[in-house]
Each structure stands twice: as C-alpha cells, then as structure tokens.
Amino acid sequence: MDYSRLKWHVEDKIGVLTLNSPETLNALDSIILNELEAWVDGPAQEETLRAIVITGEGKAFVAGADIKEMLSLDAQGAKKFGMLGSTIFRKIEKLSIPVLAAVNGFALGGGCELALCCDIRLASKRAKFGQPEVGLGITPGFSGTLRLPRVVGVAKAKELIYTAKIVGADEALSLGLVNHVVEPEELLEKTMQMARQIAGNSGSAVSKSKAAIDRGLDMDIDNAILVENDLFALCFAQDDQKEGMQAFVNKKKPAFK
C-alpha cells in the first residue's frame, strides 16, 4: 500500500515506521489514523519481523490529534474519533513483537498516547511529553487515562493530566515514562541498536515474554504465574530452545530461525 502520511521500510528484520506529515507536526487526523490502521493490520503483521521502531519526521513525534478536525465534532462524532484512535493504539500494543518508540520531538496528547502503547521508549533530549487535553476542555481520548497511570503511577498521572503539564525528556526519564534519553542525532541509531539486540535473540521467546508480561499485568499474580508457566513450557516444544541451549553448552552463538 502507498501511504501519503507514513513511511515504512524494513531492514535486518526490523520495521521502521515514520509518521511523515511534518507540516502539521504529524498531527493525528482521520487520514493518518486510517493509514495507521491499514499499516497495523497489514505490514506490521509480517511474520519475518522481529521488532518495530516508530518515529516522527521533523520537529515532532506526534504533536497531538488534529484540533481543527476535532473542533467540528459533536458527541457522537467524538466517540467515533476516540474509538478509532484507541482501537489502532490497542492493535499496536497487542502486536506479538516489541515496538520501540523513538521520540524525536513533541509527543503531546495523542502523541504521548502513541508512545505509551509502545513497549519501550527512547527520547531525544529535545522531546516533550504531556497530556494537555484538559486545557482544551476535553479528556485524553486515545487511552491516555489508562496507560499513563500504569507507566508512571496513579498519583503522578493524575498530576500530569489534571495540570496539563508538559515535561522535558529528563523529567520523563525520572518518571519512568521513557527508558533512555539520547542526543537528537543519535536517537534513531540508538533505537535501532536496541531493536537489533532484541532481533538477535529468539523471536519466539521474546514474543512469549511479551505475552507473559502484558497478560500478567491484567491478572492476579496466581493466574499470571500459570500463564507464565504455560508459555515457558511451550518454549521447550520449539527449535529455538534446543538451538539456544545447545549453543550455550558448546560455547557458540545460537542461530535462531
């Protein structure tokens, strides 16, 4: 599929998605959301992929949803718009492979919510994060009220959302909102390095680890332990386990399929 607002390429089993509407600071309007949905339902599902990196073109990762488009919405239209974004971000979150956000600039509103649905977040020193929606008379609409508390804690999430505060990369790091902060010119390469490190391990084991973490977070610990044990056991029915352990015993680098 040809995209007007996205760029997509694959290298070394790592997919790189760039939101490519710098003139609007990559604002999430219906066009870019529909392209994101087509992407997550199509190329993002490619079985050969081992990780995905999402970043933005220009000064912004995503500066937010398109305010001009939202201005004309009534309650019914707003619900439809919110469900579209929330559904797409949930699909990204549920991809079986790790998704890394390379946050190059503004990640506000829907941009912060997009970063939050990724597994790992690396930020440029120039990055800015926030959920400023209450200053516009609305709530976060793409699941920010759900994911932000899970990442930074309930009290801090409430502070950020209630005050509409925008934080820099270093404060985001101290909050646990991002994993690493790097120089702007190093951001994409540092993110790709991490993606390559992930891709060098067993794809099956990484996917099962992601499933164990994500499913376990929504369960009580006793049931989560059962899920982890089931996924652990399934590893022993696959070639990667045999290859990895045999290579370790023989002091060789494993050649995972």
Query: How far are the Cα atoms of 24, 69, 77, 78, 144 from residue 73, in angstroms, in the given order?
Result: 19, 7, 5, 6, 20
Q: Which two tokens stand for residue 237?
A: 């029915």
Catalytic hit among 11, 47, 93, 113: 113
Rounded CA-CA distance 58/48 in Å is 29
Rounded CA-CA distance 52/146 in Å is 23
Catalytic hit among 133, 171, 189, 243: 133
Rounded CA-CA distance 120/191 in Å is 9
Q: Is 113 a catalytic site residue?
A: yes
The full 3-state SS of the chain, as one line of letters, equals CCCCCEEEEEECCEEEEEECCHHHCCCECHHHHHHHHHHHHCHHHCCCCCEEEEEECCCEEECCECHHHHHCCCHHHHHHHHHHHHHHHHHHHCCCCCEEEEECCEEECHHHHHHHCCCEEEEECCCEEECCHHHHCCCCCCCHHHHHHHHHCHHHHHHHHHHCCEEEHHHHHHHCCCCEEECHHHHHHHHHHHHHHHHCCCHHHHHHHHHHHHHHHCCCHHHHHHHHHHHHHHHCCCHHHHHHHHHHHCCCCCCCC
Q: Is 159 a catalytic site residue?
A: no
Query: Annotated catalytic sites, by residue?
Result: 113, 133
